[in-house]
Structure formats: C-alpha cells, structure tokens
Chains A and B, each alone.
Chain A
C-alpha cells in the first residue's frame, strides 16, 4: 500500500529525515518509536503533505502512485488520515459541521453523492460511541476549549467517521491518562481491518500494550535503525533509547547483527 524509499526531508536548513525505507501493506499496523527529535512526527507530517518540510530525496508511493506529488487534500481524499499530535482549534466552526464538510469532500472525490443530514447524523451517533466521545462536544467548535484527552478522542472519532485506508496516529497517547488511553486504543482497535493500514507513532511502549502492532521500527537521528516485531517495543521500554547513540554511529541500517554489536559496545 505504502512504500517509502530513501526519503530525506529537512525543515529550513536542518536535515531531519536522512534516508527512510519502509513498506506497509494493507491490514498491517506498524509502530514507529524513537526518542524526542528523532524525526517521528516529521515523517508523519511529510506523509500527510505538510509544507513546512522539504523533501530533498527519495520517493513515497501509495497504491503505486507518487504520493509526494499530491497536495494534502488530495492525499486525504485518497484515504490518508493523520491523527494530529496537537489537534488544531477552529473557533466558530461547529465540530459536526466540519466533519460533514470533510466527509462530503472525500465522498465527492470518490464520486459518491453527498450524505444528507439525516444519514450523516446517524453515522455520527454510531461512531461517537466507538470512541466514547462526549456527545455535547459534537456541537462545540472544533477542538476549541477541549481538554487534551477530548482533542485526542476527537481525532479518533474523526477517523472513525472518515474511514481512511491508511491512518497515521501521531503521538495519540501523549497527554492521555490511563483510562482515556485505553478507550482511545479500543476505538483504534475496532477500526483495524484487513483493508486498512496504520502507522502508530509513539514515544512510549505503553500505547502498544493496547494497540498491538505487527511491526515496530526504531527511528533515530532520521533513520530507521532497527525493525522487529512487537517484542521490540518491550525491549525499548526496558532499555531506553540511550544505546541508540552508539547504534547510529556504527551503522546506518536496521540489520539486527549490527544492532546487537552496537548494544554490546554501548554496554
């Protein structure tokens, strides 16, 4: 579904992604972990098409087509969804109205008719339960005055309504207490399907206890330095990220042998 090759990106003069290779197939959930500043959010935003980042090398193909040539809204209409790390407040714009505009934009792009208000509200009512979002928030302006937890739930609620094919969750766990984390994770798990892929970006392993990934990748200084199964997340939780400094000095790929060498040298 998604194939990233040799992707490099920078913001202003600072190179943040230094050659990312990653392939994600339909139905898979990939976790992307790494210390602060390793480039996790940059990758998420580059995939969504944020203009603050300049892609300097590499390719991203989505369904066989060049993703980087598409505008952010074209990507969204192709089924790419980014759950924001910091969901944006839009005062004055009703949450439900916003979502309806979004859904109808996606439907229009797919050649489907607009959903009328009755059908839309029915869909909303059904999906709002999925993530345990307080229904009164539907009538409030988008994210305005929402607590941190409410904003994150609102992101997952939007995802449930918009039904993307490829969802990127950018630190959806940050700022959530354990109950909120669990219910957001429940919502996400219910959205897992063979047709849908996800990239879950997180700093902590905790989220991955609830959203169990098929693959875990460790990003460090703009490169994926290690990839593995879900057990890799546990290992990172136990050992922290400090050993990675040695890893990136010694090697640039994610070959396990090199990594274990790095581990030893670090001690």
Chain B
C-alpha cells in the first residue's frame, strides 16, 4: 500500500541537515550550578557588580522553586547539576573584525547557510551569531551606529551601554517570573541587544543566529530589544543544533520594550535538533518571550515557525499597557515523530482600546503532540479592548495529537473577545486526489501544509519565509495515512 506510504516514510525520515558538530577548542566551565559557577560566568564577562548581584538573586530565587508540571509535555527529570552552563569557543585575543574569527567557526556558519561575509556584503541583514554561549560576530554594526542603533551581543552591551541594560533588564520578564526565566537570569551567558533611538526606522532586518555546538551544554541566551518612541525594527531569529543522543536544554529569555508608537516585529524560525525518529535526543526548548507595549499606540508582533526541538514550551506574549497598543501572535508549530510542543501566547489588555490578534496553526505528525495554550486577559481599565483568536490544528496520520487550551479572563464589559478553532486532517484521500491530478505526494503535502499555514507565513520577512517553507517541507512530509 503503499508506495506513497513508503515515500512518505522516506521523506519523514530524511536526516536533520544541520546535525554536524564543529571541532573547535572551547573553554568550558565544570558541570553543575552553584554560586561559584554564576560568579565564574560573571567574572569571565567582566560584569559590573550590580549584574552579578542580579544573577545571584535569581539563582537564590530559583533554588527555592520547583519545575512547572502544568505543561502538556512529558520528559524524564532534568538533572540541573549535570549540565554545563558555560562553553565558549576559545579565542586568542579580542576580535577586531571578522577575519580574526576562527575559520572553523566561519565554515560552520557557512554550512548553515549564513555566511557572515555574504550577509555583510549582499543581503543587508545585520547578523549577530551566538555559538554555544557567546556571540562571535556582529555584522553591520558600524552602519547601524550611524543611525544611533545599537545592535551587539548582550555581553558587549553590558560594557558599552550599561545604563540601558540596567534600566530594562528584567523589566518585562523579572528574574522571579518562572522557573526557566529564573534559571536563565542566573546563568545567561550571552545573547543579543538592540536599541532603536526615537524616530528611527531600522533600515534592515536585524538577525540573530543561535547555534548549540558543545555536548552536554545548556544554552541560556538573553535578548533585549528597546524601541524608543516612533521607531521601528524587524528582528529575526534562527536556531540549529548538532544531532546528539542526549537531550540538551535551551532556556532563553527575550524581552521587548516598545515605547510610544514604536513597533517591534519579532520573527523566529526555530529548528533546534528535534531528536531522531524514535524520540532519542533533541533540544528541550523552554523559553520565555514577552513584550511590553508601554507607550500609546505601540505595537509588538510575534511570528514564529517552530519545527525543531524535542520539546517546545513557550508563550511569546504582549503586555498591552499603552492605550491603543496592538499585540499580534502568529504561530506555526510542527511536531513530528516524538516531538512535543506546548505553545501559544498571552495577551494582557491593560490600556484602553488595546487590540490583539492570535493566529495559531498546529501541525502534528507521527506521534507528535501539539498543544495550543493561550491566555487573553482584559483588565478592568481596558475599555474597548478587542481580541480575535484563531487556533487551527492539522493532523497527519492517526497516532498524533492536537490539544487546545484557550483561557479567557475578561473584567471589562466593553471588551470583545472572539475565539475560533478548527481541527482537520491530511488524509490519504487528499493525497490520492492530488496524485491523480499529477501532483507528487511530496508536493501534495507541501501544498496542503503551506495552504494551512499561509496566513502565518505571509507575516514573515521574505528571506525567512522561503526558509520556513523549506523547513516545513522537510519536517512535515511524513506520516500520512
């Protein structure tokens, strides 16, 4: 029966393309987590005292917390003392420019399709690349600096713009926020920082590329974006990791601050190693992402395409504080084989006439489990708040699952909240129908899946949309039947 089933199997079992390991000298701290490790990380980064204190407070808080058990995911207990919290490619001296970056490292980025050199010259996308724990290169910095835009690694920002970091770090996601955010606050090793001055429209997409390379290492990066009044920035984030038999932890925090009439567009294509087809290995992606629309008429939109990771647990959210502010969440989450995803968003309406839109597309294949979990909260003062939510699930095969948990809390009678949900399945009859019209099984699945996701994909910047479409192809053409 199964010629097309065999094709589908073959497609589904296509190898993870980014699963290579780079042989590179790294400086690595010993396994485990305690004050000494936190101090060692802070010291290596020659951080100011206040930041060390902040980390230590986070650590102490975290030690008194327990891992959340409410997500709809299952995994063996994580031994937090068995993780390496800091690993950095060894560098001989401080880098002045790209030519001094380890050629092995550059080759890795080239393999990943992000040649920094090329990016620099051709595409006009400024890239900050984080390899294991530290940022290795930020392109285009000078050009952006002319406009007053700061785009650099987090560590660098701590040195060059400590006042901005101190003012905004933890202001959206406090170190007490949740288990993984607290852990991140204690041990974060690098990440990206971005500051757009008032009235500036960032002329290019800013992009960060995250890569976990070292074994048994957790990645804990921290991203902070501040958009001053009337500014605009579009920010892209991509991630990959080598194939390994053991699970690796990725617990990032992203904080966005949009002031009056500022706009931040944050796009993610997440392709961490998902584990093999039997569910062995893969990244645990436990991430806290939140944006604060602080000023009147500000706007934050999250777009995410989540195809990787063994487990994804994240809820990019918007705190709509300013009157007339707008929050958007567009998501495609794919789970194949044994992947699990519990993802969604929180839209908290505080200001008057605040608006939010949630479009979530969950795709489950193989034995994948896909959960949408979302909160729409309208507070008492949010006169005239509006929300529209749409959650669609697509199933491939009969061993996967889709779950939807929408939470709605409305405390203002003038609010309008709408929720729509659908569940559908790619059936053999659909595939046969396409085949009978001359369309191959591979193209048929891509056609159906892209059709299902098109509202979300159309939100992505062009160059990312192409990558996302290809990724969907690779991750998904499986397990129909």
Contacts and interface: CB of A to CB of B under 8 A. Distances in A.
Contact of A90 (B2, B430, B436): B430
Contacts of A106: 438
Contacts of B429: 88
Given A51-B2, A51-B3, A90-B433, A105 B439 contact: yes
Interface string B130-144: 000000000000000
A214 interface: no
Contacts of A72: 4, 432, 435-436
21 contacts: A48-B436, A52-B1, A72-B435, A73-B436, A73-B441, A77-B438, A84-B436, A88-B432, A88-B433, A90-B430, A90-B447, A92-B451, A92-B454, A93-B447, A93-B448, A98-B434, A98-B447, A101-B439, A102-B439, A105-B439, A162-B438
Interface in B61-82: none
B54 interface: no
Interface of B: 1-4, 424, 427-430, 432-441, 443, 447-448, 451-452, 454
Contact of A141 (B428, B435, B451): B451
A264 interface: no
B98 to A, nearest CB: 40
Interface size class of A (residues with CB under 8 A): 20 to 34
Which applies to chain B's interface (DSSP): helix, strand, loop or mixed?
A: helix
Interface in A45-85: 48-52, 71-73, 75-77, 81-82, 84
A109 interface: yes
A154 B34 CA distance: 67
Contacts of B448: 90, 92-93
Interface in A197-242: none
Interface of A: 48-52, 71-73, 75-77, 81-82, 84, 87-94, 97-99, 101-103, 105-106, 109, 141, 158, 162
Nearest to B7: A71
A103 to B, nearest CB: 8
A114 B214 CA distance: 46
Contacts of A76: 435-438
Contact of A105 (B3, B443, B451, B454): B443
Given A73-B438, A105-B439, A94 B430 contact: no
A69 B451 CA distance: 31
B57 to A, nearest CB: 48
A147 B236 CA distance: 43
B437 A162 contact: yes
B440 A73 contact: yes
B438 A102 contact: yes
Nearest to B361: A92
A101 B443 contact: yes
